[in-house]
Structure 1
Amino acid sequence: MSRLAGYLGLLVGLGILLSGCDQEPMTNQPKFETYEAAPRWPDNQSARQPVAGTVPRDAPVELTVSDNLPMPLTRELLERGQAQFNVYCSPCHARTGYGNGMIVQRGFPAPPSFHTDRLRNAPLRHFYDVITDGYGVMYSYADRVPPQDRWAIAAYIQALQLSQYARLDDLTEEQRAQLDQDDPAAAGTATSAEEGHQ
């Protein structure tokens, strides 16, 4: 009998609790529908602008469809690539790209030099993919470096490689004149470096 009374009391208690919940106000509360105008919100829009730095889900796929740089190669892009390279890559690769960064000097395995023939001939996409997926003992930086910055770093690596093997013959007459005007000693150094590579 006491067991039946306990079940009956439980059912009555549940009934009281359930009758106290009115679903109507919860489902019909004031709200904005998608893209509905919102007079007291900025720009009269109920849909908010994404937070700065938000990456759309399809952005990485869109940015990695080819080996070519998916944005214009500009001085600003290379400067951004250099800044990000110095933050994320130089501890192991060093700012020069020879693979003797501070971490290596403290006993960690040395990464390959970017100035080897294999990496000098690697396509731009190779560097992007290594930053994204990791390679050997290097782990992925995909969660730290957004896709646009990965491309910027990759472009900077190729500029860094080019800087180590630039020849005076690669310059236009105007560039040679500018080099002579800016630093006559540098023009002589470039000639000496060119002779050393031959």
Structure 2
Amino acid sequence: MSMETALALVLLATGLLAACDSGTEERDAVASTRTVQRPYLPVPPGVVPRGTAAREAALAAPGPEVTPDLLARGEEQFRAFCTPCHGASGRGDGAIVSRGFPPPPSYHEERLLALAPEQIVQVITHGKGRMFPYADRVLPEDRWAIARYVKDLQARGAGAPPDRGTVRP
């Protein structure tokens, strides 16, 4: 093989390899299997992300009107997100307790009976105690539905612990 042929092959191979490398996002034909990675840039102070006003409005009291559909949605979301810890009846006897985790408080305790729905929405949003926030998992309208369902559960007394201290005649 002559020197010119070898040099031509090397230049051809280099050109082909360079053509395959999409490396930048300015290329028109970027392969679908390639991703463009950008460095993390924190949000500058004072900047408000898009959609913040709408999310805040969705969380504002008094929330949506209580309807049978809202309560049904609340029950569905409650079963999906809340029963693992709080249990189906809200007594704090969910599956995690049987696995050694400390039980969460019962919704039927006096201090939780006194909570307004907007306070329950805030706890779902920001978390409290051992409960972590669900803001990234549960939509604002579903947080309201869960809160209304919890208040309905409390009003019905479903799952309330039996009254052992009262002697009935």
| Paired letter, 1:59 | A
Return the alpha-carbon distance in structure 2 between the equivalents of residues 159 and 65 of structure 1: 20
Given that 2:74 and 2:149 are in contact with CA atoms closer than 8 Å, whether structure 1 keeps it comes out as yes
Moved segments of 4+, more than 4 Å: none
Q: Which has the higher helix share?
A: 1
TM-score (norm. length: structure 1): 0.53
| Paired letter, 1:163 | R
Query: What is the CA RMSD across the aligned residues, in angstroms?
Result: 2.1
Shift of 1:59: 2.0
| Paired letter, 1:157 | V
Return the alpha-carbon distance in structure 2 between the equivalents of residues 105 and 59 of structure 1: 40
Given that 2:90 and 2:107 are in contact with CA atoms closer than 8 Å, whether structure 1 keeps it comes out as yes
- Specify the alignment match of 1:122 in structure 2: 115
Shift of 1:61: 1.0
Asked which structure has the greater CA Rg, the reply is 1
Map of 1:1-198 to 2, 5 A cutoff?
56-66=51-61, 68=62, 70-164=63-157
Q: Percent identity?
A: 43
Return the alpha-carbon distance in structure 2 between the equivalents of residues 128 and 91 of structure 1: 18
Shift of 1:104: 1.0
TM-score (norm. length: structure 2): 0.62
What residue ranges of structure 2 are gaps of 5+ in the alignment?
A: 1-49, 159-166
What residue ranges of structure 1 are gaps of 5+ in the alignment?
A: 1-54, 166-195
